[in-house]
Structure 1
Amino acid sequence: MTTPVSLALAIGALVAGAVVGYLVSRARTRREEARPPGPTVAELLERLVRSSHNGVVVLNKFGDMVLHNPRAYELGLVKVNQADSRARKAAEQVVETDEPMEIDLSPIEARGRQPEAVLGQVRPLGDGFTVVEAVDHSEAIRLEAVRRDFVANVSHELKTPVGAIALLTEAVLDAAEDVEEVRRFGGKILRESTRLGQLVTELIALSRLQGAERLPDLNVVEVDAVVREALGRTTLSAESADIRITTDTPSGLLIEGDRTLLVTALSNLLENAVAYSPARSPVSISRRLADGMVEIAVTDRGIGIPEDEQTRVFERFYRADKARSRATGGTGLGLAIVKHVAANHGGSVGLWSRPGTGSTFTLRIPAHVRPDPAPEPGRTAAKTSPAPRQEKTPERTPRLVVTGQDSPDHGGNL
């Protein structure tokens, strides 16, 4: 039988429990209200590590991973849920010395798109923990190699005509009394000096194009006028090589850009086609509108370009056939200029080629959009003249497209 005392104790316990529960709930609510809205510091740090462009791995004193980000897999720092053995070995040394160190984490065997050069930085975190940060240095190393090649190529290209001019001048002095010899050597001096001047001019043009972004002030340019002027510039060299350049009918297409630069780019493509085509072979120009872009294609039936070299023909001073290019007076900069002219106009240059068949270089520039004429008051809008018919893309499309932005600049000519 329940006594009044036990009943009072039970009621007291219930009241005390309710009070304690209320106080605990109130304290929790106050803590939640006091906490600032948004992610915690720990959550932000985790996001920072996961979004880092570098690979990050945290190891404990046993070499086990306690934290890593997705980039660590991409750079080869983590393989099969385990840190690279070189990183683990370096981490052990860092724990012992408590001094940071750098290690080479470059892949032993390059596979697919895996970076070629990876530098690792190992730092102590205390209590036996270390952090390994992998940095992709492939682009920096490649750019340094390009810079060295460029300096070496420029030095060689300048040294060749300068040396030839010096030797020819000595020959002229030795044959001062022989008029025919003086004329012969004088003609060679003129050719070498012309080539030297062309090289310097194209180097200056290329440096200006590389330093410029997309052209801010664009003019409306007639494509047919660009084709006519480029043909005029190339006629003499084509006739000398016994090559006939043909073109399709005028298109009436308009583009926005710098006429001088566009003529230079198309002239370089034509000169390139003439230089690498056998005598009495055709070179053709075609133009069309496709997907809002004006495409000007130059097709030859020349020696063609092997597929493994097609990604390099736009590099500065690169030549698929060095002996042939030098014999025709090429500087090795023409296609680099074409690439940058296209990029500065918001366009691209494409390449299709097959050894023994020929090549097609396609310059793609955004088309000019004709504005609709404003209707006169009280009249309905007049019908606008139809835009040039857009053609469907043929099956033989450019295999390689270079924009200038998505490919690192190393410019060049065939």
Structure 2
Amino acid sequence: MSVLQSVLLAGFAAVVGAAVGAGLMWIARSRSSGSGETELTMGQVLDRVVYSASTGIAVVDKFHDVILFNPRAEELGLVRNRRIDERAWVVANKILDRDQVIDLDLGDPNRRGRDGIAVRCRAGRLFDDDPRFVALYAFDDSEMVRMEATRRDFVANVSHELKTPVGAMALLAEALLESVDDPETVRYFGQRVQSEAHRLGNMVTELISLSKLQGAEKMPDLDIVDVDSVVKEALERTALTAENADIVVATDRSTGYEVLGDQSLLVTALTNLIENAIAYSPKGSPVSVSRSLRDGKVAIAVTDRGIGIAKKDQERVFERFFRVDKARSRATGGTGLGLAIVKHVAANHNGEITLWSRPGTGSTFTLLIPAHFEQSDEDEVRAKPEAGAGQR
């Protein structure tokens, strides 16, 4: 390591703060005090810190020479072929002339949004009293940008979805006021208002549930949950919906399987899957719920003989407010949040949700949750081949 690099690295220690510097010096002293150990210099410690940092670091002088940089600076595009990005050099020139700290965007302007990489760079003098060197720090803000884009989309979608039932209720209320002398018309519009209010209430409830599942609130302590009781309760909740749609929901016999989880959330997830199957199935067609073990996970599969889902839509059905058939979803009062909730329930239980579907044939949604075994049960399962391995 050259003298200049040692000086620059010492300057970097001053930038990151006295507390970190004190910690590094303690490491160096503790390493050198042990008998038989190789002495570790401050320069070596700082060199390793800079080299392995998740932040891109580069130092440039007034001759446009890159004196020091780490691999992360190259990964983020701050340095290319040992030359600093031209946008960063323009800023570095300003700092060489006048002591200041400047932030700039180094992201690719042609790849903004969800798929592009967002790089933020902060530049300032390496030493307060020495104008010869500028230190540049590059940060990968891609995840933050994606989250912000998702938040904006979510707010826009929620605003749009809430506006629909609220607007409908306003028009229906106006029609009610104009029909006070006609009991039949009042009854008709009153039922429509009730339907829209019910839909609005469901949407608000599901938005609250989704917010909790995405980390707004701490997950409750997981208990041992009987899978058969989850299936039974979900079937009871959807019985009226199935009856009104003239659909019979069949299920296999009890299994005694158990999982670690929150029963109310698992019931909600399975209820959403069954209601989704009913909503997208023609009258009189069957829907089935089955239980099996797959690679140490309890698989709860909901199968319908409905319209099916095209390949291009299969990865999107778990997005918030995405609907394969918007007209049918409106007619059934769907909120577009049910499958998104299922996805997050599965994730919060260290599980997953899978989909098999073919247009014109039907769909199978499978909720997979790690199984809970008592010691004797676990030995028995290991001795037997797992059931349901060949099911779709």
Q: Which residue of 1 aligns with 2:329?
A: 325
Higher relative contact order (CA 8 A, sep 6+): 1
Answer yes or no: is the 8 Å Cα contact 1:107–1:117 preserved in 2. Answer: yes
Answer yes or no: is the 8 Å Cα contact 1:214–1:343 preserved in 2. Answer: no
Aligned pairs for 1:219-238 (under 5 A) are 220-238=224-242
Q: In the TM superposition, what is the alpha-carbon distance from 1:267 to its structure 2 partner?
A: 0.6
1:133 is paired with a residue whose SS is strand
The one-letter amino acid paired with 1:68 is F
The one-letter amino acid paired with 1:101 is I
Q: Deviations over 1:27-67 (max 9, x none)?
A: xxxxxx99944532222222222222222222232323232
Q: Deviations over 1:373-400 (max 9, x none)?
A: 9xxxxxxxxx98667752475596xxxx
1:128 is paired with a residue whose SS is strand
Matches of 1:68 and 1:354 in 2, distance apart? 53
- Are 1:148 and 2:152 an aligned pair? yes
Q: In the TM superposition, what is the alpha-carbon distance from 1:191 to its structure 2 partner?
A: 0.7
> Relative to 1, partners in 2 of residues 1:74 and 1:299: Cα closer, same or farther, differing over 3 Å?
farther
The one-letter amino acid paired with 2:375 is P
Aligned pairs for 1:78-117 (under 5 A) are 78-110=79-111, 115-117=116-118
Answer yes or no: is the 8 Å Cα contact 2:62–2:133 preserved in 1. Answer: yes
Q: Which residue of 2 aligns with 1:66?
A: 67
> Relative to 1, partners in 2 of residues 1:323 and 1:250: Cα closer, same or farther, differing over 3 Å?
same
Q: Tell me the TM-score normalized by structure 2.
A: 0.78
Answer yes or no: is the 8 Å Cα contact 2:346–2:368 preserved in 1. Answer: yes
Q: Which residue of 1 aligns with 2:9?
A: none
1:366 to 348, 370, 376: 370
Q: What's the C-alpha RMSD, in Å, of the aligned pairs?
A: 3.2
The one-letter amino acid paired with 1:159 is K
Q: Deviations over 1:252-295 (max 9, x none)?
A: 31222222221111010111222233445443323211222111
Answer yes or no: is the 8 Å Cα contact 2:31–2:40 preserved in 1. Answer: no
Aligned pairs for 1:330-409 (under 5 A) are 330-355=334-359, 357-372=361-376, 389-391=385-387, 393-394=389-390
Aligned pairs for 1:12-411 (under 5 A) are 36-37=32-33, 38-110=39-111, 115-125=116-126, 126=130, 128-210=132-214, 211-218=216-223, 220-307=224-311, 309-355=313-359, 357-372=361-376, 389-391=385-387, 393-394=389-390
Q: Percent identity?
A: 54
Answer yes or no: is the 8 Å Cα contact 1:293–1:365 preserved in 2. Answer: yes
Matches of 2:30 and 2:201 in 1, distance apart? 75
Matches of 2:147 and 2:208 in 1, distance apart? 20
Structure 2, unaligned runs of 5 or more: 1-28, 34-38
The one-letter amino acid paired with 2:220 is L
1:390 is paired with a residue whose SS is coil
> Relative to 1, partners in 2 of residues 1:239 and 1:64: Cα closer, same or farther, differing over 3 Å?
farther
Matches of 2:58 and 2:257 in 1, distance apart? 56
Matches of 1:48 and 1:212 in 2, distance apart? 36
Deviates more, 1:66-75 or 1:266-275: 66-75
Runs of 4+ in structure 1 over 6 Å off: none
Answer yes or no: is the 8 Å Cα contact 2:99–2:131 preserved in 1. Answer: no
> Relative to 1, partners in 2 of residues 1:35 and 1:241: Cα closer, same or farther, differing over 3 Å?
closer
The one-letter amino acid paired with 2:73 is A
Question: What is the number of equivalent residue pairs in this alignment?
Answer: 353
Q: In the TM superposition, what is the alpha-carbon distance from 1:108 to its structure 2 partner?
A: 4.2
Matches of 1:35 and 1:339 in 2, distance apart? 49
